[in-house]
């Protein structure tokens, strides 16, 4: 209704068929109502049944017949509604009938353009919403891969220590409890404060140091974040977990892991190095965890991260620099 009232007001401003603008507006209402009838016959009858099924010839013929059929009734309306007698005399001329037909054709083209624009916008909106749902679903799947993987490894380690009746078992249970609390209650809620993520890394590293003991040397330098950034949880964990996994291999005489974290201008950077056996390849060092990490980074931080991996015969180095948002 608002569209047709606006269309009538615009037409009354351009084509004066009354003694004033308001008079023209009132006289144009029945004429524009006829245009609306023709438009809706086209949009809801001819368009879906002919044009959208690619029956082009029938559609064009039907539109021409529709315009021709509406031109004569509009000529009668115009003859009765036009206030100026000079124009009334011209109503039945071929030129005036042609103008009426052109006006109907313009209304059809305008309405079809608006309809297609609206449907295109709705289609783009639906695609964006579907893509967002797919991204969230994939992200949830990737997170689900991380948590059981970590829990499985930790419980295996704890089981081994309990078999040996190690005094370290209670401390590991306590550390594991803190980690699981973080995973279940903090990490599942979306992005977390980076301070909590760094604390989670501390807990994990301490757990690994307790478990591995003298088998590995750990140099840790995690700078306290200087800004209130938020971060997707458990991204850095993959790098640290891989470092301990490969830095403490049985065929390495003295394994070592170096972990350094520092605040950058726009986020936080983590640098991890570990000893490796000569036969270890990049694919073996990264495994599923690194592939999972890349997917998560592409989903969440596309264009906002830098992941670099360097490996030589005895050392594996990886750095992850993230551009983060403030809380």
> DSSP letter string over 220-256?
EEEPPPSS-EEE-TTSHHHHHHHHHHHHT-TT-SSEE
Mind listing the pLDDT tens digit for each residue in 160-209? Answer: 778 877 777 787 788 778 877 877 777 666 788 999 889 989 888 888 88
Residue 232 pLDDT exceeds 70: yes
pLDDT tens per residue across span 100-139: 899 999 999 999 999 999 999 988 987 787 676 666 656 5
What was the pLDDT predicted at 251? 64
* Structural domain boundaries in the chain: 2-125, 167-326
Q: Would you state the structure tokens that stand for residue 261, as one six-digit string?
A: 């974290």
Q: What is the per-residue pLDDT for 97?
A: 84
Alpha-carbon gap, residue 269 to 162, rounded angstroms: 36
pLDDT the model gives residue 292:
77
- The yes-or-no verdict on residue 221 having pLDDT over 80 is yes
- Residue 304: helix, strand or coil by DSSP? coil
Mean per-residue pLDDT for 27-32? Answer: 88
Is a pLDDT exceeding 90 seen at residue 92?
Answer: no
Statement: residue 284 has pLDDT above 60: no
Q: Is the pLDDT of residue 143 over 80?
A: no
pLDDT, residue 259, reads 95
What are 252's two structure tokens? 């390495």
Structural class in CATH, domain 167-326: alpha beta
Q: Where is pLDDT greater, at 47 or 214? A: 47
Average pLDDT of span 41-60 = 90
- List CB contacts of 174: < 8 A, sequence separation 6 or more: none
Q: Is the backbone of residue 54 left (phi > 0), alpha (psi -120 to 50) or beta?
A: left
pLDDT tens-digit readout, 304-317: 999 999 988 778 99
């Amino acid at each position: 209704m608002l569209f047709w009232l606006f269309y009538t007001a615009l037409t009354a401003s351009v084509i004066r068929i009354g003694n004033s603008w308001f008079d023209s507006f009132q006289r144009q209402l029945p004429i524009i109502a006829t245009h609306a009838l023709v438009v809706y016959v086209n949009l809801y009858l001819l368009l879906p049944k002919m044009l959208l099924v690619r029956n082009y010839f029938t559609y064009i013929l039907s539109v021409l017949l529709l315009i021709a059929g509406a031109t004569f009734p509009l000529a009668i309306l115009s003859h009765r509604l036009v206030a100026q007698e000079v124009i009334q005399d011209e109503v039945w001329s071929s030129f005036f009938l042609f103008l009426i037909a052109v006006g109907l054709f313009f209304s059809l083209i305008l309405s079809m353009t608006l309809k297609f624009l609206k449907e295109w916008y709705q289609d783009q909106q639906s695609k964006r919403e579907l893509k967002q749902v797919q991204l969230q679903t994939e992200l949830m799947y990737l997170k689900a891969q991380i948590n059981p993987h970590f829990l499985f490894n930790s419980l295996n380690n704890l089981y081994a220590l309990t078999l040996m009746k190690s005094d370290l078992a209670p401390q590991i249970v306590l550390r594991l409890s803190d980690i699981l609390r973080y995973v279940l209650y903090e990490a599942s809620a979306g992005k977390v404060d980076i301070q909590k993520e760094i604390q989670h890394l501390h807990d994990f590293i301490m757990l690994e140091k307790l478990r591995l003991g003298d088998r590995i040397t750990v140099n840790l330098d995690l700078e306290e974040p200087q800004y209130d950034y938020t971060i997707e949880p458990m991204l850095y964990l993959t790098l640290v977990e891989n470092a301990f996994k490969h830095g403490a291999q049985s065929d390495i005489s003295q394994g070592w892991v170096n972990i350094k974290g520092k605040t950058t201008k726009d986020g936080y950077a983590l640098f991890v190095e570990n000893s490796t056996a000569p036969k270890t390849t990049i694919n073996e060092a990264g495994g599923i965890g690194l592939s999972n990490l890349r997917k998560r980074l592409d989903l969440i931080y596309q264009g906002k991260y830098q992941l670099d991996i360097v490996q030589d015969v005895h050392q594996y180095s990886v750095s992850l620099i993230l551009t983060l948002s403030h809380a």
